[in-house]
Structure 1
Amino acid sequence: MSQLRTTKAGLVVCGMICAFFFLYLRNPSPEEAEEEPPTPDVVECGFYPDELCSALFEGKKAAPQIAQFCKPSPKSEMLAHLRTPGNCSRMSRGLHFIGRPLSAEEGNFSLAYIIHVQKELAMFVRLLRAIYAPQNVYCVHIDVKAPKKLKSAMQTFVDCFENVFISSQTQKVAHGGLRRLQAELGCMRDLTHSMFHWHYVMNLCGQEFPIKTNKEIIRYIRTKWKGKNITPGVIPPLNTKPKTGQSSSKLSLDENTYTSPNTRFKQKPPHNLTVYSGSPYYALTRKFVGFVLTDPRAKDMLQWSKYIHSPEQHYWVTLNQLKDAPGATPDAGWEGNIHATKWRTEDGDGHKGCTGHDAQDTCVYGLGDLPWLIQSPALFARFAPPTDPLVVVCLERWHRLKALQQAEVLAEPHWPFPQESHFNSQPHH
């Protein structure tokens, strides 16, 4: 009996707290009312209404406080769809996958993706359904040390899509290193032999999420780059330790990294190559991929990469500087916004700080970073744990709505996500 009273008391307290924030958000103080328009209603704890996500994107002051009491639904519903073997069509519909090109422009320009997965099946599913299009093709590299259950579930899942496959080669891939390069080159070999004719390949990890739609990504590539490769990077300045990011002043290299044409590390680079440093993320043309897989300079550069730290920060950008490489961009520098990163050193200049927490000088995004993310010119952002799950949930709902608004075909009933609102949701007890 006492336990029942305790449970009831807890519910009353939670109800009072949520009611307080509900009233606070509906009735801001006079000072706040003058500064910004009223925020949409938000109700009980236990689910995330779309109004809350909208308030977070608009930067409403009370929204983050309410969000800590209104967490997203557990992963069980998503994972339940993955445990329905033998019915791929029902799984695809239940997970809201879009099964047709949303425009002729997208249908005529296919992308290939290389996706590294080590854990977090649910996050990978969110990523895939956000970037999925039937005209694209996806090579999934599962880390050799990944749990057997994950590998089995991944195989069952990708078998439902003819344009999604697991790489024929597996590597033990940590954050970087030669094995990451080998894993991506293995996927590239598989992609060149696939039945899909793709135009560009991009690389991601399973904990990333797009902040641009498929249509926006291909328009950026086609109109801005016009058949050129995107490999942001520069020659590291002498006597400095720059940080790999999107600006030349924020590049961080390990002391064992090859740092300049005039400072040789262990072994001289093959073919007298000038080694550049940059982002490990890229968008490469199909012809450039063929060049990397066959050219002696690329093969020798791969062998030389055994002796340097984080070779993925050097390999692609260095080869893309060769003037005879297909789609080369020798003078591009840091151009090419592929990956959004909030650097702590740019606080007050490039952004207004991190509302999540800092990890190795970069921001692990919090709820207050959502307005910055959707305004970023970059194509993708990484959400490493412990990112607040509501950040990704809200971004996913915003991304799907945006993609459907841009669509030039009639949406099928299962494409939109179910609307979650205090108008059509019952209180959870």
Structure 2
Amino acid sequence: MCQLEGTKCSFLLCLGMSIIACSFIYLKTKTPTEQKYPQLKSCRPFSSECKPFLPEMEKGVEQYQRDCQVGNFILNSSLHCSSLIDDLHFITRPLSRKEEEYPLAFIVTIHKELELFVRMLRAIYMPQNIYCIHVDAKAPMEYKMAVQRLVGCFKNMFLSTRSEKVTYAGFSRLQADLNCMKDLIKFKQSWRKVVNLCGQDFPVKSNLELVQYMQSKQWRDRNMTPGVKQPVSMRHRTQLQHQEITGSHVAPKRPRVRKSPPPHNLQIYFGTAYYVLTRDFVDFVLKSRIAHDLLEWSKDTFSPDEHYFVTLNHIKEAPGSHIDGGWEGEIRAIKWRDQEGMTHNGCKGNYVRDICVYGIEDLPWIINKNSMFANKFDSNTFPEALDCLEQWHRNKVLNQATVPIEPSWLLATQSNSRSNSYFNRRAKV
């Protein structure tokens, strides 16, 4: 009996000690530990080649991005919008009265690279502006849901009510912009001019500089659609009927069929797919018989987004038209392969479809050119270029602000951050 009691006591003692040990291990593994940003392996320091553009980089002090994988924030469906907006460093107040009184609208067409989209979006985001996001109907469902989750956190941002399966150089690309224009015209919040962007763009000018540029004497009441009368080398695009292979490519119809002349005896122009348009001009595009007929005629042309708006902007009936306009308007900094040695010193990254995907050594050219935006970037191929330009741009934006800077608006921290560091000084302004 005594032996049985002793065995029982030993068992209970061992059981108790096991429970205590397991509880200790459980609590230790479940208790979160504070982790500094520089300790995260995925947070890389800025390249030393950024120093000419980031003068606040002190000698021997490394700077790190505060968020290392922005896509993960959005994919984490448990995050509340307030946390997501803070953690992704979106600016939450107008930074000047001038910007607040001149709201802009943005059309952003995307289909891939979630991280690049988010970083571009927070760079152009201001609470007084309006943003229409067109997600390609071909995009993966997880991508669409992530974008929808982010967009749903902002009252001045929405997804296009109609989504296209966009084909490179196809009519669907033009239709995507028009879908957003219809939504923007109906949106309750007012805006002055609209700018279109794609997922591989990134701003060079700050929002304040965009407003100042659009309000300048040259552009105050005008649309910006760089382009010229269609060169002979480009006439095949609109003289022959083309067929869009949905989601794949555009090719001339076989056998080849010539198109009828443009409606209303319009002179066809050739330009870029990028523009800055007044609200009245957008209203004209959506309601005018001339615009409607040109749109119908353009459905079987090659890359109609490169002739549609620039052609309409050269007729007297169009509000804000620029009849004598040419290539004026610094909308995009682009390095085309065939312009190497003439307008630029070569691509320091690599060419894709004859357009430079920028490397970090391209930044001096981009910054000196001081266009509104630059194209193209790839956060996977040349991440250092985007890191550096993004930090340079945010520093400029905050330096121009006339309101106190919120700590969450800062994009970077230092490995030995102290109260007298550049970042903390800016947050106390």
Q: Does 1:90 align with 2:86?
A: no
Match of 1:361 in 2: 354
Alpha-carbon offset, residue 307 of structure 1 = 2.1
The 1:390–1:397 alpha-carbon spacing in structure 2 relative to 1, beyond 3 Å, is same
Match of 2:320 in 1: 327
Aligned AA for 2:370? P
Candidates 375, 379, 401, aligned match of 1:382: 375
Alpha-carbon offset, residue 343 of structure 1 = 2.3
Cα distance in 2 between the residues matched to 1:53 and 1:415 = 24
Match of 1:218 in 2: 211
Alpha-carbon offset, residue 56 of structure 1 = 6.2
Q: Does 1:230 align with 2:224?
A: yes
- How many percent of aligned residue pairs carry the same amino acid? 45
Q: Does 1:55 align with 2:51?
A: yes
Cα distance in 2 between the residues matched to 1:255 and 1:292 = 25
Bigger Rg over Cα? 2
| 1:100-249 map, 5 Å | 100-223=93-216, 224-238=218-232, 241=233
Moved segments of 4+, more than 6 Å: 70-74
Q: Does 1:372 align with 2:365?
A: yes
Alpha-carbon offset, residue 77 of structure 1 = 5.3
SS of the residue corresponding to residue 195 of structure 1 reads coil
Cα distance in 2 between the residues matched to 1:75 and 1:46 = 6
The 1:49–1:236 alpha-carbon spacing in structure 2 relative to 1, beyond 3 Å, is same
1:56–1:370 CA contact under 8 A, matched in 2: no
Cα distance in 2 between the residues matched to 1:231 and 1:97 = 30
Match of 2:340 in 1: 347
Q: CA RMSD in A?
A: 2.5
The 1:219–1:73 alpha-carbon spacing in structure 2 relative to 1, beyond 3 Å, is closer
SS of the residue corresponding to residue 112 of structure 1 reads strand
- 1:183-234 CA-to-partner distances (Å, cap 9, x unmatched) read 1111111101111100001111122110111011111111130110000000
TM-score using structure 1 length: 0.77
Cα distance in 2 between the residues matched to 1:91 and 1:391 = 25
SS of the residue corresponding to residue 413 of structure 2 reads coil
1:46–1:72 CA contact under 8 A, matched in 2: no
The 1:108–1:77 alpha-carbon spacing in structure 2 relative to 1, beyond 3 Å, is closer
Aligned AA for 2:163? T
- 1:292-322 CA-to-partner distances (Å, cap 9, x unmatched) read 0000010111100012111000000000001
- 1:74-127 CA-to-partner distances (Å, cap 9, x unmatched) read 953552355144511111011100010000000000000111110111111101
Farther off after superposition, 177-186 or 320-329: 177-186
Alpha-carbon offset, residue 361 of structure 1 = 3.0
- 1:131-164 CA-to-partner distances (Å, cap 9, x unmatched) read 0000000000111111011111111111100011
Cα distance in 2 between the residues matched to 1:175 and 1:105 = 37
Cα distance in 1 between the residues matched to 2:178 and 2:324 = 25
SS of the residue corresponding to residue 225 of structure 1 reads coil
Aligned AA for 1:148? M
Aligned AA for 2:151? V
Aligned AA for 1:55? K
Alpha-carbon offset, residue 389 of structure 1 = 1.2
Aligned AA for 2:83? R
The 1:304–1:71 alpha-carbon spacing in structure 2 relative to 1, beyond 3 Å, is farther
The 1:294–1:102 alpha-carbon spacing in structure 2 relative to 1, beyond 3 Å, is same
SS of the residue corresponding to residue 132 of structure 2 reads strand
Q: Does 1:416 align with 2:427?
A: no
1:106–1:218 CA contact under 8 A, matched in 2: yes
Match of 1:33 in 2: none
SS of the residue corresponding to residue 378 of structure 1 reads coil
Cα distance in 1 between the residues matched to 2:185 and 2:393 = 30
SS of the residue corresponding to residue 202 of structure 1 reads strand
Alpha-carbon offset, residue 51 of structure 1 = 6.5
The 1:358–1:418 alpha-carbon spacing in structure 2 relative to 1, beyond 3 Å, is closer
Cα distance in 2 between the residues matched to 1:367 and 1:46 = 19
Alpha-carbon offset, residue 348 of structure 1 = 2.9
Aligned length: 353
Alpha-carbon offset, residue 257 of structure 1 = 3.6
Cα distance in 2 between the residues matched to 1:215 and 1:115 = 19
Unaligned segments of structure 2, at least 5 residues: 1-40, 55-62, 241-256, 419-429
2:42–2:69 CA contact under 8 A, matched in 1: no
Farther off after superposition, 132-141 or 372-381: 372-381
Q: Does 1:312 align with 2:305?
A: yes
Cα distance in 2 between the residues matched to 1:147 and 1:420 = 37
